[in-house]
């Protein structure tokens, strides 16, 4: 069977600088996805025009800046991640070239081959977050799976997480002893009858 070789990580976007180029439908979707996950994300959105929804999407998020102007190379300066979401393929390619030259990771929304990373479909329940990737095969299936998991993961899991965190802080002993106790306490979650 073909395998997904992407390496998942969870980024702290409040400590990083993100550039999104394009403020149309796709730009709105990507900025919305970022802010849903990380309301304090530091995001600059550069576009020649913005879809009317954009103002509502970024309203109340203090670290987002909308800049109405054509993209220029200098926009990449000081950025850690770039998302190119313009409808202009040549421009997206140019943004990719500049980002690679600056060693900044880039996602070109309509071109998987030019993505250093993909956005994922995200299940969120309090402190729990599950990111789903189909290796670019079907974002729609990722979205549907998110809906299935959202319904099947109980809300009560958050209080279990909080309790386990408190127990984890109180546990004495060396590292392996803590791991043994935590595994013992949570074994009921995977017990087969």
Ligand X SMILES: NC(=O)C1=CN([C@@H]2O[C@H](COP(=O)(O)OP(=O)(O)OC[C@H]3O[C@@H](n4cnc5c(N)ncnc54)[C@H](O)[C@@H]3O)[C@@H](O)[C@H]2O)C=CC1
CB of 132 vs ligand SHN, minimal distance in Å = 7
- Residue 71 binding partner per list ligand SHN, ligand X, none, with a CB distance cut-off of 5 to 8 Å that depends on partner kind: ligand X
CA triple 10-118-98, angle to 5 deg: 105
Q: Which residue is nearest to ligand X (CB)?
A: 24
Task: Please name which of 172, 157, 119 lies closest in space to residue 8, comparing C-alpha atoms.
Answer: 119
- Tell me which of 112, 126, 154, 173 binds ligand SHN, using CB under 6 A: 112
Are 115 and 139 in contact by the 8 Å Cβ rule? The answer is no
- Tell me which of 143, 163, 165, 180 binds ligand SHN, using CB under 6 A: 143
| End-to-end alpha carbon distance in the chain | 31
Residue 168 CA to chain centroid, in angstroms?
27
Convert residues 90-109 into a mask of x (bound to ligand SHN by CB under 6 A) and - (unbound).
-----------------x-x
| Interface with ligand SHN, residue 37, by CB under 6 A | no
Distance CA 53, CA 46 (A): 15
- Residue 38 binding partner per list ligand X, ligand SHN, none, with a CB distance cut-off of 5 to 8 Å that depends on partner kind: none
* Range in contact with ligand X (rule: CB under 6 A) among 46-54, 122-130, 159-167, 176-184: 46-54
Are 66 and 23 in contact by the 8 Å Cβ rule? The answer is yes
Q: What is the enclosing helix (H) or strand (E) of 128?
A: strand 128-132
Q: What is the enclosing helix (H) or strand (E) of 49?
A: strand 42-50
| Interface with ligand X, residue 21, by CB under 6 A | yes
| Interface with ligand X, residue 23, by CB under 6 A | yes
| Interface with ligand SHN, residue 159, by CB under 6 A | no
Query: Position of tokens 């200098």?
Result: 74
DSSP 114: G
- Tell me which of 18, 26, 34, 104 binds ligand X, using CB under 6 A: 26
| Interface with ligand X, residue 70, by CB under 6 A | yes
By CB under 6 A, name the binding residues for ligand SHN.
29, 33, 107, 109-110, 112, 115, 118-121, 133-136, 138-140, 142-143, 146
């Amino acid at each position: 069977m073909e395998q997904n070789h992407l390496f998942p990580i969870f980024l702290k976007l409040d400590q990083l600088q993100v550039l999104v180029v394009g403020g149309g439908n796709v730009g709105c979707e990507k900025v919305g996805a970022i802010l849903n996950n990380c309301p304090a994300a530091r995001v600059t959105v550069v576009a020649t025009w913005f879809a009317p929804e954009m103002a509502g999407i970024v309203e109340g998020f203090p670290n987002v800046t909308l800049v109405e102007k054509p993209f220029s190379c200098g926009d990449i300066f000081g950025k850690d991640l770039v998302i190119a979401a313009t409808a202009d393929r040549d421009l997206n390619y140019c943004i990719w070239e500049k980002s690679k030259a600056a060693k900044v990771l880039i996602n070109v929304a309509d071109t998987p081959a030019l993505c250093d990373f993909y956005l994922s479909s995200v299940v969120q329940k309090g402190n729990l977050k599950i990111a789903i990737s189909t290796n670019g095969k079907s974002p729609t299936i990722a979205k549907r799976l998110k809906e299935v998991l959202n319904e099947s993961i109980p809300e009560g899991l958050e209080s279990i997480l909080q309790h386990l965190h408190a127990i984890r802080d109180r546990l004495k002993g060396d590292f392996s002893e803590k791991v043994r106790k935590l595994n013992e306490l949570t074994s009921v979650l995977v017990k087969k009858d």
